[in-house]
Amino acid sequence: MDPLLAKAIVVAASAVGAGLAVIAGIGPGIGQGFAAGKAVEAVSRQPEAQGLVIRTLLVGCGVAETTGIYGLFIALALLFFNPLVNLL
């Protein structure tokens, strides 16, 4: 088989894989929005706690972000330093 065709198949599948990977971002998007909603609720009830609320929100969102970053990392790996092509 032609090595070029082999490469083309792998690289093409990497493009689809990169797109699929960042779909993981659905999760943090929903979760962080929920947390933001609860933070809004909290600061409106206790305005004096705003600093505390936003700090807690950011800690929680930082944790929730991780899986989105996993998706981004896999997508970037597939696009910019594709390790699969070297396996051929």
Query: In angstroms, what is the minimal distance from the CB of 62 to a copy of itself?
Result: 8
Query: In angstroms, what is the minimal distance from the CB of 42 to a copy of itself?
Result: 3
75, 18 contact by CB (below 8 A): yes
Picking from 14, 16, 18, the residue whose alpha carbon sits closest to that of residue 76 is 18
Picking from 26, 29, 22, the residue whose alpha carbon sits closest to that of residue 61 is 29
Quote the CA–CA distance of 64 and 81 in Å, as a whole number: 26
Q: What's the token pair of residue 42?
A: 């909290």
Query: In angstroms, what is the minimal distance from the CB of 43 to a copy of itself?
Result: 5
